[in-house]
Amino acid sequence: MTPSTVYIGCGAGFSGDRLDAAIPVVNTLTKKKGPKYLIFETLAERTLALAQKQKQQDPNHGYSPFLEDYLRPILKTCAGSGIKIVSNFGAANPIGAAKKISEISAQLDCKNLRIAIILGDDLLNVFSSDEIRNHPTIEGLKINDQEIIAANAYLGARPIAEALRLGADIVVVGRCTDPALVLGPLINEFGWKENDWQHLAQGTMAGHLLECGAQVTGAYFADPGYKDVPNLAEVGFPIAEIKDDGSIIITKADETGGIVSEQTVKEQLLYEIHDPANYYTADVILDISKVSVEQIAANRVRVSGANGKPYPSTLKATVSINGGWMGEAEMTYAGPNALARAKLAIDVLKKRCQNLKTNYPIRFDILGTVSVHSGDMGPDNYDSFGIDGDYRVRIASKGQDKKIIERINQEMLSLYCSGPAAGGGFRQHLTDQIHTASILVDRDKVATKIEFI
């Protein structure tokens, strides 16, 4: 029987999101009558490449590093209340993630949980590196002759729906479109057909609104005096209520901070959208150009008016390549004449870097706020430190040769004994860069497979 309302909550909007955010979402979902789902979106463009590198070092790793932190507090309640979990935390190793979940569920005495894995996003199993390079890039950098670390297609919602239909309690994906985490459960519950563009568009829009977690409930939004948000420290993560006709209400977990308003929903609706009439996904081309939002109660916003067009013949894929090194180094000057000393430091650094005769790009910043002159608890009033300033000099550079980048950072370090008066607080980073590019691949070349463990 088709349910009247499906409830879908979001527990994470990126790989480093609040570890305890899902708890109030799950507690709220347990009170709902009807199918209930919890999603975690934990895979940004570069996250998968980092995961791939981890997997190369240890074949048991390469899934979301926070998987256990996210799941352990809520898994038993979800299992007991029939809340199904869908996430892309499989990253480069969905099988490893599923094994880990199985281990955690055994420890928590959650019996008979069925864990499904969606495979097929990894294009290194489909194409040679040269074949991948031959695809033109649509976003990001050109794919040069650097080693390809990862290449993954964005899978759609159909395999997720199928895994749920086959009885999965938890669905682990590697790379899929973020809205598919929501659309998959909706297809499973409502049986929306592959050419039901209108409903698929509504479901995709619901996914788009949920996929970044608290960004639709007051986070990445608060601007004191203009856009005030109550209790941002305990911001509630979103829950969408979706009906068979595709109508969507966005709300949030009970007894939490944050706010769901027309404004928060509008901002998230347009987040990372280019042409609002043509948002390409694997399942549908979403048109939000005629969408309207309406506050129907406190923290409840109805969103309607999405339209859909047939999905494209291609799937988007992200290719990650080695990108050399990035160095960053910083030093602080504070107190009387601090800005002059910070400028002198920049002058010294520029001359020293000229001597290195490198053509690597180098950037010089002076960051100005209060830091080293305040205690561990921070200042009582950030405005009271404005007289002399507190300036942080920053240098950043990039290039293939790690030694040169290290040497540029070292020029900052040397300012301790060879630079202006009273410079302190040196920090440096040297980061192994991963570059990404987006390509379009023929969707017929990408075969998905569902496995249960």
Partner 1 sequence: MTKPDLIVTRLHQVAHARAGDKGNRSNISLIPYNPNLYSLLKEQVTESRVLALFSHKGATKVTRYELPSLPAFNFVLDDALEGGVNSALNLDQHGKSLSSLLLTMDVKVPNDLISRLLSW
Q: Residues 34, 5: contact at Cβ < 8 Å? A: yes
Compare residues 196 and 267 and give the one whose CB is closer to partner 1. Answer: 267
Work out how close the CB of 399 gets to partner 1 at its nearest, in angstroms, rounded to a whole number.
Answer: 11
Compare residues 94 and 323 and give the one whose CB is closer to partner 1. Answer: 323
Interacting residues toward partner 1 by CB under 8 A:
45-46, 139-141, 220-221, 223, 226-227, 263, 266-277, 288-293, 305, 323, 326, 361-363, 365, 367, 394, 396-398, 433-438
Work out how close the CB of 244 gets to partner 1 at its nearest, in angstroms, rounded to a whole number.
Answer: 24
Q: Residues 183, 203: contact at Cβ < 8 Å? A: yes
Work out how close the CB of 5 gets to partner 1 at its nearest, in angstroms, rounded to a whole number.
Answer: 25
Compare residues 252 and 394 and give the one whose CB is closer to partner 1. Answer: 394
Compare residues 127 and 220 and give the one whose CB is closer to partner 1. Answer: 220
| Tokens describing residue 129 | 């590196």
Work out how close the CB of 100 gets to partner 1 at its nearest, in angstroms, rounded to a whole number.
Answer: 28
Report the relative pairing of strands 170-173 and 307-309 from DSSP bridges. Answer: unpaired
Work out how close the CB of 270 gets to partner 1 at its nearest, in angstroms, rounded to a whole number.
Answer: 4
Compare residues 93 and 268 and give the one whose CB is closer to partner 1. Answer: 268
Work out how close the CB of 274 gets to partner 1 at its nearest, in angstroms, rounded to a whole number.
Answer: 5
Work out how close the CB of 63 gets to partner 1 at its nearest, in angstroms, rounded to a whole number.
Answer: 21
Burial-class residue 103 by CB neighbours within 10 Å (0-12, 13-18, 19+): exposed
Task: State the Cα angle at 151 between 149 and 157, rounded to 5°.
Answer: 145
What lies within 8 Å, CB to CB, of 221 at 6+ separation is: 215, 227, 229, 263, 264, 267
Work out how close the CB of 192 gets to partner 1 at its nearest, in angstroms, rounded to a whole number.
Answer: 24
Cα 196 to Cα 356: distance, rounded to the nearest angstrom: 62
Compare residues 75 and 321 and give the one whose CB is closer to partner 1. Answer: 321
Compare residues 19 and 273 and give the one whose CB is closer to partner 1. Answer: 273
Query: In a 3-state reduction of DSSP, which class is residue 405?
Result: helix
Query: If you ran DSSP here, which 8-state letter would residue 167 be given?
Result: T
Compare residues 100 and 252 and give the one whose CB is closer to partner 1. Answer: 252
DSSP characters for 228-285? Answer: --TTGGGBPPEEEEEETT--EEEEE-SS-B----HHHHHHHHTTT-SSTT-EE-SS-E
In one-letter notation, the amino acid at residue 248 is I
| Type and span of the H or E element at 130 | helix 129-133
Task: Give 3-state DSSP helix, strand, coil % of the chain, rounded to 5.
Answer: 30, 30, 40
